[in-house]
C-alpha cells in the first residue's frame, strides 16, 4: 500500500468506459489519488481480477475488489423478499437493492485506504446519485461525495476521446444505445429508443428471459421456505444466492419477469424502464402466497402497508435510515411462521401457485369445508353481524333523522 499523505478518492468502479476514464479525470481535476472499488453483485461479465488489473492500468493507485454475491443475496435480496417489495406494485427494486451493498464496500475501502472522498459514476437526473450519496453519508458523515459525470462534466463523448487520447485499455464505442444495470436479482434497461414510450421493446433488449410467446413445456417447481427464506428447490438444499440463480434460470426460460413500466423517479421525473427479474418475480409470488397461509389476518393487512413504505424507502435510497431499520424489525417478526412448501407452475410468462403446505399453517380444513365434518358453528354468525355492523347502523339512523339519508335513486326495482 502506498503512502496516504496525498488526498485520496475512492471510486465505485465497474470496469467500463466511464469509470475507467473517471480514474484519470478525477486525478487531473482534483489532484487526488484514486482507489478503484469493484463489487460483484452477480452482474456477470469479466472476472474481478481482470477488472482489478484494468483499474490499475488506468491509473488507480489501489484496487479493492469484492465478491459480494452471497452477501447481496442474503442481506439485501432476502429482506426485499420478506417485504414482498415491488415498487409501483411491479418493480422488485433490482438496482435500488444493489446500491447499499456497494456503498458499504466503498466506505470500507475509504477507511482502509485513508480516503476522504467517495466518487460514483451517476448522472444528475437519476435515482442512483441519491442512493450512493445518502448511503455514504449515513454510514460515514465525514466523507465527501463526488460525481464526475455530474460535477466534473465527464460526458460520454469526452470519455471516449479521453480514453483514445490516453490509450486506456478499454473498449470505446458509441454503438450501444442502452444503459444497462444488472445483478443477480434482475436486469434494468433504459435510454435509447426506449425513451419514446410508444416504442415497443425489441428482442435485443432482453437477456435474462426467453420469449414467452413460444415457451417450452410447463415447469413445475416446489420451493421450500424457512421463516421466509427459500432453503430448498424441489427438495435440494439451496443458499439464498443459489435459490435466486436457479429460479432465474427456470423462470427465465419461461419468459417470466419481463416488466415495461413508466415509473416515478425520486428526482421528480417519470422514466421509462424495462426490467427482467425472473427469479425475483417467481420467488415473491411464492413467498406472498405462503404468507397468505401462515400470517394472521390483521398482521398481514398491516404488513402490506409496512412493505409498501419499506419499498419506497429503499427505492429512495434510504436503506440505512432509522425508519427503514425499524420497519425491518417488524417485517422480520412477521416471518416467524412463514415456513412450508409452495408448488408453482412456470409457463408462458406466468408463475402460478398450484399448491401450499405448512406445519405452521393457519388454514383449518375443518373450519373451511362446507361438507361433512364442518366444525364452524354458523349459529354464531347472526350475533357477530349484529355487533360488527352496529356502529354503521347507529350512524345511518342519525343520518335519516337529520334528513341526510342515502340517495337510493328513483329507478323501480
Determine the Cα angle at 104 with ends 102 and 110, to 5°.
105
**What is the per-residue pLDDT for 1?**
42
pLDDT band at 98 (very low <50, low <70, confident <90, very high): very high
Q: What is the pLDDT of residues 170-225, one digit of tens each?
A: 876 666 668 889 999 999 998 889 999 999 999 999 999 999 999 999 999 999 99
Q: Is the pLDDT of residue 387 over 90?
A: yes
18: annotated active-site residue: yes
**What is the per-residue pLDDT for 124?**
86
Entry pTM? 0.93
**What is the per-residue pLDDT for 349?**
97
Question: What is the spatial distance between Cα 81 and Cα 276, in angstroms, rounded to a whole number?
Answer: 16
Residue range(s) occupied by CATH 3.40.50.620 in the chain: 8-175
Residue range(s) occupied by CATH 3.90.1260.10 in the chain: 180-357
14 annotated binding-site participant: yes
179: annotated active-site residue: yes
213 annotated binding-site participant: no
Query: Among 2, 179, 207, 326, which one carries the catalytic annotation?
Result: 179
Among 70-84, 294-308, 331-345, 360-374, whose mean pLDDT is lowest? Answer: 360-374
| Percent of the chain predicted with pLDDT > 90 | 79
410 annotated binding-site participant: no
- Cβ–Cβ < 8 Å for 39, 105: yes
| DSSP conformational letter for 316 | T
Q: What is the pLDDT of residues 77-91, one digit of tens each?
A: 999 999 999 999 999
Smallest CA-to-CA distance from 135 within 332, 326, 316, 329 is with: 316
- Cβ–Cβ < 8 Å for 267, 127: yes
**What is the per-residue pLDDT for 4?**
47
Question: Hey, what CATH topology would domain 180-357 get?
Answer: 3.90.1260
Question: What is the spatial distance between Cα 154 and Cα 152, in angstroms, rounded to a whole number?
Answer: 6
15 annotated binding-site participant: yes
The size of the chain, in residues, is 413
Mean pLDDT of 37-51: 91
Query: Among 8, 18, 54, 339, which one carries the catalytic annotation?
Result: 18
**What is the per-residue pLDDT for 2?**
44
Q: What is the pLDDT of residues 117-164, one digit of tens each?
A: 999 988 888 899 999 999 999 999 999 999 998 988 888 788 889 889
Q: What is the pLDDT of residues 316-366, one digit of tens each?
A: 999 999 999 999 999 999 999 999 999 999 999 999 999 999 999 999 888
**What is the per-residue pLDDT for 290?**
98
121 annotated binding-site participant: yes
358: annotated active-site residue: no
At 58, is the secondary structure helix, strand, or coil? coil
Query: Among 40, 54, 128, 316, which one carries the catalytic annotation?
Result: 128
Query: Among 52, 54, 99, 350, which one carries the catalytic annotation?
Result: 99
Q: Supply 160's cell numbers.
A: 471516449
Q: Is the pLDDT of residue 3 over 50?
A: no
220 annotated binding-site participant: no
Mean pLDDT of 59-82: 97
Smallest CA-to-CA distance from 264 within 306, 316, 314, 304 is with: 316
Average pLDDT, the chain: 93
Instruction: Return the higher-pLDDT residue of 377 and 77.
Output: 77
Per CATH, is 8-175 categorized as 3.40.50.620? yes
**What is the per-residue pLDDT for 171?**
73
Q: Supply 310's cell numbers.
A: 419499506
49: annotated active-site residue: no
Determine the Cα angle at 126 with ends 121 and 128, to 5°.
55
11 annotated binding-site participant: no
Q: What is the pLDDT of residues 269-288, one digit of tens each?
A: 999 999 999 999 999 999 99
Mean pLDDT of 304-313: 98
Instruction: Return the higher-pLDDT residue of 155 and 384.
Output: 384
Amino acid at each position: 500500500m502506498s503512502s496516504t499523505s496525498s488526498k485520496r478518492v475512492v471510486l465505485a468502479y465497474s470496469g467500463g468506459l466511464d469509470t475507467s476514464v473517471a480514474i484519470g479525470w478525477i486525478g487531473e481535476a482534483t489532484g487526488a489519488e484514486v482507489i478503484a472499488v469493484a463489487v460483484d453483485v452477480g452482474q456477470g461479465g469479466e472476472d474481478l481480477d481482470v477488472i482489478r488489473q484494468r483499474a490499475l492500468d488506468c491509473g488507480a493507485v489501489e484496487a479493492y475488489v469484492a465478491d459480494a454475491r452471497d452477501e447481496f443475496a442474503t442481506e439485501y435480496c432476502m429482506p426485499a423478499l420478506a417485504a414482498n417489495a415491488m415498487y409501483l406494485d411491479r418493480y422488485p427494486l433490482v438496482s435500488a437493492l444493489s446500491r447499499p451493498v456497494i456503498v458499504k464496500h466503498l466506505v470500507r475501502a475509504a477507511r482502509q485506504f485513508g480516503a476522504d472522498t467517495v466518487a460514483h459514476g451517476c448522472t444528475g437526473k437519476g435515482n442512483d446519485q441519491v442512493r450512493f450519496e445518502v448511503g455514504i453519508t449515513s454510514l460515514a458523515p465525514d466523507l465527501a461525495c463526488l460525481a464526475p459525470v455530474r460535477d466534473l462534466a465527464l460526458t460520454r463523448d469526452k470519455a471516449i476521446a479521453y480514453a483514445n487520447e490516453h490509450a486506456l485499455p478499454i473498449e470505446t464505442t458509441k454503438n450501444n444505445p442502452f444503459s444497462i444495470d444488472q445483478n443477480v436479482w434482475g436486469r434494468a434497461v433504459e435510454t435509447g429508443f426506449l425513451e419514446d414510450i410508444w416504442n415497443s421493446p425489441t428482442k435485443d433488449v432482453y437477456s435474462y428471459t426467453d420469449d414467452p410467446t413460444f415457451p417450452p413445456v410447463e415447469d413445475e417447481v416446489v420451493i421450500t421456505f424457512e421463516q421466509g427464506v427459500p432453503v430448498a428447490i424441489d427438495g435440494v438444499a439451496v443458499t439464498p444466492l443459489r435459490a435466486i440463480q436457479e429460479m432465474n434460470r427456470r423462470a427465465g426460460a419461461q419468459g417470466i419477469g419481463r416488466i415495461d413500466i413508466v415509473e416515478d423517479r425520486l428526482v421528480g421525473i417519470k422514466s421509462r424502464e424495462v426490467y427482467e427479474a425472473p427469479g425475483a418475480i417467481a420467488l415473491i409470488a411464492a413467498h406472498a402466497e405462503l404468507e397468505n397461509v401462515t400470517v394472521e389476518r390483521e398482521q398481514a393487512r398491516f404488513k402490506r402497508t409496512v412493505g409498501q413504505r419499506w419499498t419506497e424507502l429503499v427505492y429512495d435510497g434510504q436503506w440505512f435510515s432509522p425508519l427503514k431499520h425499524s420497519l425491518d424489525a417488524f417485517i422480520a417478526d412477521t416471518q416467524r411462521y412463514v415456513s412450508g412448501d409452495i408448488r408453482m407452475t412456470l409457463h408462458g410468462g406466468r408463475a402460478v401457485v398450484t399448491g401450499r403446505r405448512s406445519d405452521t399453517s393457519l388454514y383449518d380444513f375443518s373450519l373451511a369445508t362446507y361438507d361433512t365434518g364442518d366444525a364452524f358453528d354458523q349459529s354464531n354468525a347472526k350475533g357477530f353481524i349484529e355487533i360488527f355492523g352496529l356502529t354503521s347502523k347507529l350512524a345511518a339512523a342519525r343520518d335519516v333523522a337529520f334528513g341526510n339519508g342515502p340517495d337510493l335513486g328513483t329507478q323501480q326495482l
